[in-house]
């Protein structure tokens, strides 16, 4: 970025400075690496499948579930011991502190074959304080159809630490969930429809857009011949593919790396109401408008006061609090904002308001209602 551009950014607030610099860097990087089909579309049927299982983590250092509050942990432990031929006497209730009931989750990637390792996530279900140092006992992982597709087992890696003593507690990160890298082995593969035959395959776009669907079909027809691809709607592109698996794999590999020439996307502003983040793309434009924005603040101050009774009244000395409430409303001057046809102009105009990111959320919504900003607002 040129020094003159950096000088113009000095007067901007930090959040919008970062927004403008990121937009400029994104725009400068476009010519160096063209967009490819694999970044905007995916072959139908080539996807991962979620796996879920219920298991037990043992070997904890007194940080496991309390069976009085999590009875299912004791039931699971009793059932597991019975499988190993260990029968407890009647009326005996176990209260171990080194065992925790957990849910085990994983993603079965496409084309996964038996024997392939998978990373798994182990999450506590009860009131275990920490899973650090525990070992997951062999747990079957099932798919949505109820079939077992993997078996998980291994030492749980927890990316946190904690200590407590004399009523004080210190904790870093999360202790009731961890990972087991390569902790599951695939037992059954899932067939993929994209390579099972048929004259056509289907490309599903990541976002519905007629221009993108047309661009994808044009790129494929240019490389593979007219009539190979046909845009069915704003989301689906149907492609004629070879019949044999080897030829189809080579065809898909070439097709996914074809460059695309996309039109300017629709103007959109994404607002995160929880964090106050505002992100806008390069198509956002601003019409001339006038804005006045003021802040309303309420301040409550508590002052301790001592109430002392008379010497012979028999009362007790008490401490009360006096609350002082003050309301202050800062004036907001009417600011005229010029039209902006570029993202940099829009950012500069919004910075003239001097509003915080949280205030900017309300301002953008009001500008949209007044027709002063040409963009689609998406609140997440």
- Check if the beta carbon of residue 156 is closer than 8 Å to that of residue 179: yes
Q: Rounded to two decimals, what is the model's pTM?
A: 0.68
Summary mean pLDDT of the chain: 80
What is the 8-class DSSP label of residue 99? -
CA distance 230 to 233: 9
> Counting runs of H as helices and runs of E as strands, what totals does the chain give?
7, 23
pLDDT at 106: 96
pLDDT at 330: 64
Neighbouring C-beta atoms of residue 76, cutoff 10 Å? 19
Per-residue tokens: 141:
């992982």
278, pLDDT greater than 50: yes
Neighbouring C-beta atoms of residue 81, cutoff 10 Å? 13
Contacts of 273 (CB under 8 A, 6+ apart): 361, 379, 380
193, pLDDT greater than 50: yes
- Residues 21-62 have pLDDT tens digits of 444 444 443 343 478 999 999 998 888 999 999 999 999 988
Of the candidates 279, 286, 288, which has an alpha carbon nearest to the alpha carbon of residue 342? Answer: 286
pLDDT at 33: 47
- Residues 206-248 have pLDDT tens digits of 988 898 999 999 999 999 999 999 999 999 999 999 988 888 8
- Residues 298-323 have pLDDT tens digits of 566 767 777 777 766 667 777 777 76
- Residues 78-110 have pLDDT tens digits of 888 888 888 878 777 777 889 999 999 999 999
pLDDT at 273: 75
- Check if the beta carbon of residue 24 is closer than 8 Å to that of residue 64: no
- Residues 116-175 have pLDDT tens digits of 999 999 999 988 888 998 999 999 999 999 999 999 999 999 987 766 666 666 777 778
Q: What is the mean pLDDT of residues 351-376?
A: 78
CA distance 286 to 373: 5
The structural domains of the chain, ordered by start, are: 35-45+193-260 (3.30.1360), 49-83+93-160+171-186 (no CATH), 268-308+320-379 (no CATH)
Phi, psi of 261, deg, nearest 5: -120, 100
CA distance 99 to 95: 9
pLDDT at 17: 52
The H or E element spanning position 186 is strand 177-186
311 vs 177, higher pLDDT: 177
Contacts of 228 (CB under 8 A, 6+ apart): 220, 221, 239, 240
């Amino acid at each position: 970025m040129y020094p003159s551009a950096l000088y113009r950014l000095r007067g901007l607030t930090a959040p919008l400075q970062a927004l403008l610099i990121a937009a400029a860097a994104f725009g400068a990087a476009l010519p160096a690496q063209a967009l490819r089909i694999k970044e905007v579309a995916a072959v139908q049927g080539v996807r991962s499948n979620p796996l879920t299982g219920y298991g037990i983590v043992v070997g904890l250092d007194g940080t496991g579930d309390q069976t009085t509050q999590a009875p299912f942990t004791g039931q699971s432990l009793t059932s597991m011991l019975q499988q190993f031929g260990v029968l407890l006497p009647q009326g005996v209730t176990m209260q171990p502190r080194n065992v925790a009931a957990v849910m085990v989750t994983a993603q079965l990637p496409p084309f996964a074959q038996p024997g392939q390792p998978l990373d798994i996530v182990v999450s506590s279900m009860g009131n275990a304080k920490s899973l650090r140092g525990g070992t997951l006992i062999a747990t079957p992982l099932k798919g949505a159809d109820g079939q077992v597709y993997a078996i998980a087992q291994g030492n749980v890696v927890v990316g946190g630490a904690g200590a407590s003593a004399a009523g004080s507690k210190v904790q870093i990160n999360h202790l009731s969930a961890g990972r087991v890298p390569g902790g599951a082995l695939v037992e059954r593969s899932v067939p993929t429809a994209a390579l099972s035959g048929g004259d056509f395959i289907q490309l599903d776009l990541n976002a519905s857009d007629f221009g993108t669907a047309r661009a994808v079909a044009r790129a494929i027809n240019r490389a593979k011949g007219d009539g190979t691809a046909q845009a069915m709607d704003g989301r689906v592109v149907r492609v004629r593919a070879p019949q044999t698996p080897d030829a189809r794999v080579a065809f898909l590999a070439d097709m996914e790396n074809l460059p695309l020439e996309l039109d300017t996307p629709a103007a959109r502003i994404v607002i995160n109401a929880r964090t106050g983040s505002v992100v806008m793309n390069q198509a956002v434009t601003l019409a001339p408008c006038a804005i006045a924005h003021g802040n309303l603040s309420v301040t409550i101050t508590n002052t301790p006061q001592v109430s002392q009774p008379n010497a012979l009244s028999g009362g007790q000395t008490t401490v009360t609090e006096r609350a002082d409430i003050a309301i202050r409303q800062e004036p907001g001057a009417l600011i005229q904002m010029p039209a902006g046809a570029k993202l940099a102009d829009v950012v500069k105009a919004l910075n003239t308001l001097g509003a915080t990111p949280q205030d900017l959320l309300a301002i953008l919504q009001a500008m949209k209602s007044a027709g002063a900003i040409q963009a689609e607002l998406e609140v997440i």
